[in-house]
C-alpha cells in the first residue's frame, strides 16, 4: 500500500507540474545567423536558423533569456540579446528574436482581451521587422470581405493587434490570405512578405508575424488550438 501511495503522490505532483507550465513559441527573426537560446542558464534551443520557430513549455517564475550565436556549450557563443521577464503560471507567450535594437527580444502575451469564445478564430498580427513599419492586408473567402487594412493602420517594430473572425458552425471552410506591405503605403503597395494562405478552423489561434530587415523579409504563420 505504501508503494501505491508514493506512486499516486508522484503522479499527482507530475500532473500539477504539467498544469503549471506555460506554453512558449520562439520565432527566430535575426537574419544571417544561427542562434542558441538559454533560459535561466539552460539551453532550450540550439543552432536555430532565421525564419524557423519552435514550441516549448516553461515552469512559472522569473526568466532570464539569453540569445547567442550558435556554438558548443550552453549559450557560450557571442551574445546577441538578453531579456528578463516574469512568466506566470499557465502563461501563453510568443517570443520573437531580432538582430537590431530596440527590442531585440519581443515577448508577446497571447491572453485574449475579451476572454475565450465558444467558436471562431483568434488572430494576431505582429511586426518584428528590424527596419520600417508595415501594414497588414487580409482577405477571407467565401466571406464577402474585400482586401483591406486591419483596424490598426500601421505597425512599428514590436506592435501587435488582436482581432476575431466568426465562423459559422457547419459552414463552408474559410480560406484567408495575408500579406504585409511597407509604409507609407503606395498604390500598388510594395509587398515585403506574404501572401500566406490558411484554412481557418474553429477554436484556432493564428499569428502572422513579419520578421527580417530591410533586405530580407519573411512572414511566419503560427497556428495553435486555444
Fold of the domain spanning 113-226: Immunoglobulin-like (2.60.40)
Q: CA–CA separation, 95 vs 86, rounded Å?
A: 13
> Can you give the pLDDT at residue 144?
43
pLDDT at 79 (0 to 100): 95
Q: What is the DSSP string of 151-200?
A: SSS-B-TT-EEEEEE---TT-PPEEEEEEEEESS--SS--EEEEEEEEEE
Distance separating alpha carbons of residues 58 and 92, to the nearest angstrom:
10
Grouping H, G, I as helix, E, B as strand and the rest as coil, residue 44 is: strand
Q: What is the pLDDT of residues 96-120, one digit of tens each?
A: 999 999 899 999 999 876 555 445 6
Residue 51 has pLDDT above 80, yes or no: yes
Using CA atoms, how far apart are residues 165 and 140, in angstroms rounded to an integer?
A: 9
At 152, the pLDDT band (50, 70, 90 cuts) reads low
18 class by beta-carbon count within 10 Å (0-12 exposed, 13-18 middle, 19+ buried): exposed
* Amino acid 214: pLDDT: 81
Query: 95-112: string of b/e by CB count within 10 Å (b at 16+)?
Result: bbbbbeeebbbbbbebee
User: Half-sphere exposure of residue 95, counting CA atoms within 13 Å on the CB side?
Assistant: 30
Fold observed for domain 22-111: Immunoglobulin-like (2.60.40)
pLDDT for the residue numbered 19:
65
Assess whether pLDDT exceeds 50 at residue 90: yes
Least confident residue range of 20-24, 114-118, 153-157: 114-118
- Same fold across 22-111 and 113-226: yes
More confident position, 29 or 196: 29
Other beta carbons within 10 Å of 212: 22
Which stretches does DSSP call E strand in the chain?
22-28, 35-39, 42-48, 53-58, 61-69, 79-87, 92-97, 105-109, 121-129, 134-141, 148-149, 160-165, 174-182, 191-200, 204-212, 217-225
More confident residue, 71 or 193: 71
Q: What average pLDDT score do residues 71-93 get? A: 94
The pLDDT, as a whole number, for residue 122 is 78
Q: Please state the domain extents for the chain.
A: 22-111, 113-226
Asked whether the beta carbons of 157 and 102 are under 8 A apart, the reply is yes
Comparison of pLDDT for 158 and 116, the residue scoring more: 158
- What percentage of the chain exceeds 70 in pLDDT? 65
Query: Average pLDDT of the chain?
Result: 78
Amino acid at each position: 500500500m505504501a508503494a501505491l501511495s508514493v506512486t499516486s503522490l508522484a503522479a499527482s505532483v507530475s500532473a500539477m507540474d504539467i498544469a503549471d507550465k506555460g506554453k512558449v513559441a520562439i520565432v527566430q527573426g535575426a537574419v544571417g545567423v544561427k542562434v542558441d537560446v538559454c533560459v535561466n542558464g539552460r539551453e532550450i534551443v540550439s543552432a536555430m536558423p532565421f525564419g524557423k520557430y519552435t514550441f516549448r513549455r516553461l515552469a512559472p517564475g522569473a526568466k532570464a533569456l539569453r540569445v547567442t550565436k550558435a556554438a558548443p556549450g550552453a549559450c557560450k557563443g557571442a551574445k546577441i540579446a538578453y531579456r528578463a521577464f516574469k512568466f506566470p503560471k499557465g502563461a501563453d507567450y510568443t517570443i520573437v528574436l531580432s538582430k537590431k535594437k530596440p527590442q531585440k527580444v519581443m515577448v508577446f502575451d497571447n491572453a485574449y482581451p475579451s476572454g475565450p469564445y465558444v467558436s471562431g478564430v483568434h488572430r494576431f498580427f505582429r511586426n518584428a521587422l528590424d527596419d520600417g513599419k508595415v501594414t497588414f492586408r487580409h482577405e477571407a473567402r467565401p466571406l464577402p470581405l474585400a482586401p483591406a487594412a486591419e483596424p490598426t493602420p500601421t505597425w512599428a517594430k514590436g506592435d501587435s493587434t488582436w482581432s476575431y473572425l466568426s465562423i459559422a458552425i457547419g459552414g463552408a471552410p474559410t480560406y484567408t490570405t495575408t500579406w504585409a506591405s511597407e509604409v507609407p503605403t503606395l498604390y500598388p503597395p510594395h509587398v515585403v512578405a506574404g501572401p500566406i494562405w490558411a484554412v481557418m478552423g474553429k477554436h484556432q489561434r493564428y499569428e502572422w508575424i513579419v520578421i527580417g530587415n530591410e533586405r530580407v523579409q519573411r512572414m511566419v504563420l503560427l497556428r495553435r488550438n486555444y
